Structure 1
Amino acid sequence: MTDKPQFVEERGQKVKLNNLCSRGKSSLRQKDVSNDGPYAVYGASGLVGTMASFQNAVPYVAVVKDGAGVGRASACEANTSVLGTMQALIPSEGIDRDYLLHLVRSLHLGDGFSGSTIPHIYFKDYGKLPVRLHSPAEQKRIVDIFASIERQIKVSKQQLDQLDFLVKSRFIEMFGDPIRNPLRMSVSSVEELAAPIKNSMKAGPFGSALKKEVYAESGYKVYGQEQVISGNQFLGNYYIDKEKYEQLNSCKVMPGDVLISLVGTVGKVLILSEDCQPGIINPRLVKITFDKRKIFPEYFAIAFSLESVRSSLLGRAHGQTMNVLNLGMIKKLKLPVPPISRQKEYLNFVAQVDKSRFVAQQQIEKLQMLYDSLAQEYFGD
């Protein structure tokens, strides 16, 4: 692991963020991406296609400005474009693009957003935030330090990818590919394997979305995309009171429920553990309660994550700037359903792989803590 370096330069002068960068172009919709040229177009989840032209001619930083992942910053190369859900930030003269990237990340622009309403952040607002400006030489030193940490994180993430590949390869070996090459065994739709599948798009007296005024400071948890995308059920600080909770029976969750994201970063899965907080799902999720006499939630989650299954579903997802899944797509998905004993055999194999996954994940968390500590030292007050 990289040792924490000694900080030698003065902490830098305070300036506003808009002194270090300006707004680039970011007006494309998903349907504008024609895939007719060599120039990349990026969205909140990465590359979304190509075009024959580009909007930003120099290397820049892109910030997710609305929806899931709001505030997340990434580096983009010259001669590329971003969707309208992103804000392109063009570095000013004398500002290293990657220095700007780490500085913007240190601002945690997405903090405080969760719940069912779509969050928005605007450069006209956060561009006024005070930040620290270091000399060009110090910018380079800071960038090199963060690059070293990120390389080590990348290695650990590659280990996780390899373990994930091992788990999925074993699934296909035992049960076949559900879409491309299913083995001869019982096949059932998700709808046949579960209790009635619910989401909160029509959440009783609260309409098609849980409005801000519904939320309370404590009470029953509201599970949203933040938890599902991160894989951490304990994140988030949105709640509803007991009275409203009792009116939303169809949206209530319990241990073992499978939550799936429907909008934006679609198809992400979270299985609620035994120590999950009582609560409900928000309108951007669907919950599935499987009959465990037929299928284990963990088996479903791995089957659902297979590339062929995701491609089949996402190929039918729709939307202008964000992908959208609907309940019908998920209910009709057919999966091989081996005997419970075979599912247990497979999940025992997965449990062994998870031990190695835990070690790699711990290394990533330690490196991320180092990154955050240095970001506070270099960019904080």
Structure 2
Amino acid sequence: MEYRFLGDITTNLDYKRRPLNSIDRDKISKEGLYPYIGANNILTYIDEYIFDEKILCIAEDGGSWGKNEVCSNIYDGKTWVNNHAHVLIENGKANLEFLRYYLNFADLNFHIKGSTRGKLTRSELDNIQIPLPSYENQIRIANLLEKIETTIDERKSAIDLLDELAKATFYQMFGDPVKNEKGWENSTISKIVVDEKKSIRRGPFGGALKKEIFVQSGYLVYEQYHALNNDFSFERYYIDENKFQELKAFEVKSGDIIISCSGVYLGKLAIVPKNAKKGIINQALLRLTLNNNLIDNTFFTWQWTNENFKKKYYGNNIGSGIPNFPPIEEFKKFKFILPPITLQNQFADIAQKIERIKAEQEAQLKDLEELYASISQKVFEGTIDLSKVPFDASLLPNPIKTTTKGPIEQPDVVVTKASSKETTIKEPKPATKGKLIWENVSFKEVSDNIRSEFGSHYFNAEMLLRFLKEDKVMQVNYFSSVEQKKNPQYENADDFYRFIATALTGENIFLTLEQVFYNAETENIPNISFTETDLENLSKEDKKERSGIYFRIKDETTTP
């Protein structure tokens, strides 16, 4: 596949960007009319704009680099872009959607300069090498990745909706747990655990779990990761039998609830499953053993994660600048609503069914994301056949407008087998100025040329190639499969194959062909006709050589 520098295949509009201080900061909000693009393509709004066209914005600096975050995005319409994002537009050589997908896929760290704050300079941006298939294949790649990306977004939305469904069900059944407008009985945590002294336990402090005590295997040390991801297959640190007996008060058992007590994941929690490995909590966790005759574990977790409950009791607790859980004695004052246990269990059944569906959706999402990564790798390496991917010709740099099909132009000369010696020689066609490149000629233009030349004549691939190369002076770059195997760089020739293939299947909106096998030995096609040049070349071959696959333009004027 050909590689081109980004600076050669796009037009840079950085000169139109404006620094933030050229406008009042208070003009930027979520209420403005036009998108305001800053570093990392973070989007707010403003009542002014400096671009009124389709642009590709690429973050110049910030946190995108090396974090697999989006650093490139497209905006189509009135937009303001400050001087922390590069702005590119098309110049007819590369498709912006294709470039967006490639730049978000590629590792650009090599081009990021600066030891303190990484920056993508204009010169480094221009020197990014882009794998550049034909423009049509660029559109195909963008369309293919967009379909997968859309499916991924839909799956994420479906997962979010499942969360909203569970929240809505909780609210419908129990109301706001803080306002308690339904008048449920409520109680403190001390009353709803199995044993106040043993069932509320913060992990061991004072260096009890220094790394030097850890062993290769034994009793598991539970960490914030388990509460955050509800992943109990994760195992990193172990303690031996002696240390476990020493710290047995912090033991984790099936059905316990573990809660993260510090950092950005403050308040995240998980219910310990039946098959969990025997172990203890570390200093960053709180362990609860609830009395399930009074409060269901699942009901507790949904009450605990309710936004109003979180804000009132633990969401704003900080210590030394790091979010931290309040002291245990304060925690014991938290008030929980206690609807009838039968109603709690009913909600738990609903929530668990939703959770199972959510787990299936998340597994599908993971598969889709892996598919997206795999397909991206293949299309940008050029190792995937794009010939079957639908192609919208209107997206070409010079959009093609389809017109109503009219009568086919009659060829300059109609030559049949019987009259080959009596035909008048055609005047030679004037040569086209310069050499046309296949990738730069639209399918419509090629189709019109074929109609004009062949009309109701039959032709094979070799005849068509001769016509395009010699008469139209067009560099088609078609290579046989053998040649392509020897020279993989010839794979761009697939465009010619695809042109013929789509014309035979009806997918080519500009030309429809029928395919026949002509047996010259039996003359199975009466009155078969060829152009004079093709007939002259055929006369030099024997009947076996003349036999083979031929095409004819198929429409109402040539085909019954």
Q: Common fold, TM-score beyond 0.5?
A: yes
Q: 1:359 to 1:320 in 2, by over 3 A?
A: same
Aligned counterparts of 1:240 and 1:211: Cα–Cα separation in 2: 11
* Kept after mapping to 2: 8 A contact 1:200/1:250: no
Please give the alpha-carbon distance, in whole angstroms, between the structure 2 residues aligned to 1:276 and 1:368: 29
CA deviation digits over 1:109-148, x for unaligned, max 9? xxxxxxxxxxxxxx99xxxxxxxx972347x999997776
1:200-239 correspondence runs (5 A): 200-202=203-205, 207-208=206-207, 210-239=209-238
Change (3 A) 1:134 1:37: closer
Cα offsets for 1:320-348 (capped at 9, x unmatched):
65322234354322111112111111122
Q: Secondary structure at the match of 2:63?
A: strand
| Residue 332 (structure 1) aligns with | 333
Query: What residue number does 2:497 align with?
Result: none
Aligned residues of 1:61 and 1:101 also touching (Cα < 8 A)? no
Distance, in Å, in 2 between the alignment partners of 1:189 and 1:104 is 52
Gap change, CA 1:77 and 1:236, over 3 Å in 2: farther
Letter in 2 for 1:135: Q
**Residue 370 of structure 1: CA displacement?**
2.6
Please name the residue that 2:427 is paired with: none
Unaligned runs of 5+ in 1: 1-7, 11-35, 41-46, 48-56, 64-70, 79-89, 107-122, 125-132
* Deviations, residues 189-233 of structure 1 (Å, cap 9, x unaligned): 22321133112142xxxx246221122221111111122211211
Could you say which residue in structure 2 is the equivalent of 1:87? none
**Mapped partners of 2:208, 2:60: distance in 1:** 40
Helix, strand or coil: the match of 2:270? strand
Matched, 1:357 2:372: no
Shift of the 259–135 alpha-carbon distance from structure 1 to 2, 3 Å rule, reads same
Question: Alpha carbons of 1:238 and 1:178: their partners in 2 closer, same or farther (altered >3 Å)?
Answer: same
Report the equivalent of 1:159.
158
Could you tell me how far apart the structure 2 residues matched to 1:76 and 1:299 are?
A: 41
Structure-1 residue corresponding to 2:302: 302
Matched with 2:345 is 344
In structure 2, do the counterparts of structure 1 residues 374 and 334 end up closer, same or farther at CA, with 3 Å as the change threshold?
Answer: farther
Residue aligned with 1:245, SS: helix
Unaligned runs of 5+ in 2: 4-25, 31-41, 43-58, 74-83, 89-98, 110-114, 117-126, 133-137, 382-560
d(CA) in 2 for partners of 1:360, 1:198: 35
Q: Is the 8 A contact 1:318 1:324 kept in 2?
A: yes
- Specify whether residues 342 and 366 from structure 1 end up closer, same or farther in structure 2 by C-alpha distance, changes over 3 A only: same
Output the CA distance in 2 between the equivalents of 1:341 and 1:326: 32
Indicate yes or no: 2:137 matched with 1:136: no
2:241 aligned partner: 242
Where does 1:76-115 land on structure 2 (aligned, <5 Å)? none
1:221-300 equivalences in 2 (<5 Å): 221-264=220-263, 265-300=265-300
Amino acid at match of 2:254: P
> Quick one: distance in 2 between partners of 1:99 and 1:340?
54
Instruction: State the number of aligned residues.
Output: 285
How far does the alpha carbon of each residue in 1:253-292 deviate from its partner, in whole angstroms, 9 at most, with x for none?
0001111111121111111110111011111111111111
Q: Encode CA deviations 1:287-336: one digit per residue, 9 max, x unaligned.
A: 11111111111110111111111222344321465322234354322111
Q: Kindly tell me: are residues 247 and 39 of structure 1, through their superposed partners in 2, closer, same or farther at Cα, counting changes over 3 Å?
A: farther
| CA shift for structure 1 position 353 | 2.5
- In 2, the alpha carbon distance for the partners of 1:324 and 1:9 equals 55
Separation of aligned partners in 1, 2:319 and 2:275: 35
In structure 2, the partner of 1:25 is none
Aligned partner of 2:370 in structure 1 is 369
1:173: which partner in 2? 172
Higher relative contact order (CA 8 A, sep 6+): 1
Say which SS state the counterpart of residue 187 (structure 2) adopts: strand
Residues 282-291 or 348-357, more deviating: 348-357
Query: 2:498 is matched with which residue?
Result: none
Letter of the 1:341 partner, please give it.
Answer: T
- The aligned residue for residue 191 of structure 2 is 192
Structure 2 counterpart SS, 1:184: coil
The verdict on how the C-alpha distance between 1:352 and 1:315 changes in structure 2, with shifts beyond 3 A counting, is closer
How far apart are residue 62 of structure 1 and its match? 5.0
- Going from structure 1 to structure 2, the CA distance change for 1:374 and 1:175 (only over 3 Å counts) comes to same
How far apart are the structure 2 equivalents of 1:261 and 1:288?
Answer: 12
Q: Distance in 2 between matches of 1:227 and 1:105?
A: 33
1:60 equivalent in alignment to 2:65: no
Structure 1 residues 152 and 60, CA gap change in structure 2 (3 angstroms): farther
Q: Compare 348-357 and 217-226 and name the one that shifted more.
A: 348-357
SS in 1 for 2:323: coil
Q: Cα RMSD over matched residues?
A: 4.1
Q: What is the SS of the residue equivalent to 1:61?
A: coil
Q: 3-state DSSP class of the match of 2:275? A: coil
Equivalent position amino acid for 2:348 in 1: L
Shift in CA distance, 212/75, structure 1 to aligned 2, threshold 3 Å:
farther
Aligned AA (1:61): G
8 Å CA contact retained: 2:217, 2:238: yes
Which residue identity does 2:365 align to in structure 1? I
Distance 1:148 1:177, change over 3 A: same
Task: Indicate if the aligned counterparts of 1:75 and 1:98 stay in contact, CA closer than 8 A.
Answer: no
Are residues 274 and 357 of structure 1, via their aligned partners in 2, closer, same or farther at CA, if it must alter by over 3 Å? same
Bigger-Rg structure (1/2): 2
Partner amino acid, structure 1, of 2:216: E
Q: Greater shift after overlay, 209-218 or 278-287?
A: 209-218
Check the 8 A contact 1:255/1:273 in 2, yes or no.
yes
Could you tell me which amino acid in structure 2 is paired with residue 291 of structure 1?
N
User: Is the 2:72–2:104 contact (alpha carbons within 8 Å) kept by the matching residues of 1?
Assistant: no
- Over 3 Å counting, the alpha-carbon distance change for 1:235 and 1:144 in structure 2 is farther
Q: What's the counterpart of residue 316 of structure 1? A: 316
Give the drift of 1:91: 11
Task: State, as a whole percentage, how many aligned pairs show the same letter.
Answer: 28
SS in structure 1 at match of 2:255: coil
Please give the alpha-carbon distance, in whole angstroms, between the structure 2 residues aligned to 1:326 and 1:147.
47
